[in-house]
Amino acid sequence: RSRAPSRRGRRPFLPTLLPPLSNPLSSSPTSSKFSLHRQIQSPIPDSLPMPTLRSATLSPAPAATPSPTAVTPSPAAAGTTPSSAAKRRMTARRAADSPDSPQFASPHKSPLAGSGHFGAPKMLSGSPKSSRKRLYGDLVPAERPKWNPRDPAQMQAVKEALHVATTPSCGLVCRDDEQRRVFEFCKACVQQERAGSLYVCGCPGTGKTLSISKVKQSVSRWADEMGMETPDDLSINCTNLGNTSDIFGKILEKFQVRKKASGKLSPLQQLQRMFSHKESAPRRMLLVVVDEMDYLITRDRAVLHDLFMLTTLQFSRCILIGIANAIDLADRFLPKLESLNCKPLVITFRAYSKDQISNIINHRLKVLEYDVFEPMAIEFCARKVAAATGDMRKALGVCRSAVEIFESGLQDSSDKGAGVVTFDHMDIALSKVFKPAVVNNILCLPQHQQMVLCALANTFQHSRKKATTLGELNKSYIEICRSTQVPAVGMLEFSNMCMILSDQGYLKLGQSKEDKLRRVTLQIDISDITFAFKGSRFFEKCLEQPKF
């Protein structure tokens, strides 16, 4: 058995990973011994970063930046001293540990974050205006040009947009369902080449006539697209008829048939004969729209009954659409049609709601490039009209009146700034439209009698008394005339004016030996007097006078 070598002859173990013990470029053995001692004594640093998985979104590190995990070249290969190599390793280690280093990768750092502070968000480039437009796009409303009410062209455009006779360019809104039902009825009649009758009813100003005119255009356009023969159309307003039976002559003229034996057969009889035989029946359909049909109601209701009966004949080519305000016209005046199973289809146009009225007004104003009304003013008008009648024509009239009141205020004032129609203008316009009969009567009185009523209102507004004397009323009247610079009438004429107002029911006069001591009592409400004179500067000044 071989013996182990002695300790004296054993060579010391040196790790192969360590660099050479001596520097071949160094000539001093002392420096070689010091370098070996320094490399062995310095421990391997624990703060070297561990290799991490980089995200696919991270950009690769620049090639010029040293990596902390890269193998440090030997001093011999670099051509430097061991001390300088160690110094380079320490510098690279500090750079790797720095958070500003490009190689520093943390799981909490956003991949979109750039250099600089840790986790700083990336800012959008560009000016604030461009970035706002890029971010919000169409959500930023464009400023509309201001309305110049002193421009006559702009003022005229506003009045035309609110006129009842103006057909809105955007089309009729809030009546889509009713128009669809009428169109489907006419479409079925044209496709099947059969006659039919339809009755459209509703309150005034609910869009009946305008809707039917739109349906007529739609039917003609649909027939052209389908390659079918376009039906003829005839519109008759019964208020323009001299005689109710003249309507049959107008229908007969539309069929372009010469009246044969006119002395023996009436237009109604010729139409009945025409629709009773296939040879004489016309080939093209005729759409007849009869507006204000309730004017055809006679004592025996013969004209109205015969008109609807034309659509029940075998070879009739009439599509009859009647328009009237009476909802129960077919039930009250045409009971025979129901027994013959010829009752017309009834479509009711209900009164507009406040939302619909507001929507229609805004649609009419869309053709303008500027704002004319305050939103609160339009809503106030819509609520008032919807609660009263729901008449769209009355709502348009109120808006036009508010514009005229605003225009008159511009003429009186020296302010050149542009403005809009406010809530106060709309309130005055509504008060003129929706006023009781007594208010109209007050407005029709002569000026001095109106001033007497103002004197009565001032007398009873400032006292709890319900009666006064004719002398005290005369003093209040004289004070009003003095403040308004209107010549007052004498006592005798004043007493006669009070007697006229008493006969009309505005006040009551008592009996007395002297006229000045006669008892005067107001028979109408003070609110009716103030409401009647609302918006008039002269009478508002009269009502501001205190009790004498």
Q: Which residue type does 370 have?
A: Y
pLDDT for res 124: 43
The burial class, CB within 10 Å (0-12 / 13-18 / 19+), for 451 is buried
The predicted model gives 14-31 an average pLDDT of 46
pLDDT for res 490: 92
Q: With a cut of 90, say whether residue 286 has pLDDT above it.
A: yes
The predicted model gives 175-196 an average pLDDT of 94
Least confident segment among 123-137, 277-291, 362-376, 452-466: 123-137
Local confidence band at 475 (pLDDT 50, 70, 90 cut-offs): very high
pLDDT for res 79: 46
Better-predicted residue by pLDDT, 188 or 111: 188
Q: With a cut of 50, say whether residue 129 has pLDDT above it.
A: no
The rounded percent of the chain whose pLDDT value lies above 90 is 43
**Nearest CA among 154, 475, 196 for reference residue 320:** 196
In this prediction the pTM is: 0.60
Contact (Cβ atoms closer than 8 angstroms) between residue 435 and residue 531: yes
Least confident segment among 10-19, 173-182, 434-443, 524-533: 10-19
Question: Tens of pLDDT along 207-260?
Answer: 999 999 999 999 999 999 999 999 999 999 999 998 999 999 999 998 865 445
pLDDT for res 74: 43
pLDDT for res 369: 85
DSSP 3-state assignment of 485?
coil
| Alpha helix ranges (H) inside 98-207 | 128-136, 152-161, 176-192
Structural domains in the chain plus CATH codes = 147-165+352-410+418-434 (1.10.8), 176-349 (3.40.50.300), 445-544 (1.10.10.10)
Half-sphere CA count of 67, side-chain side, radius 13 A: 11
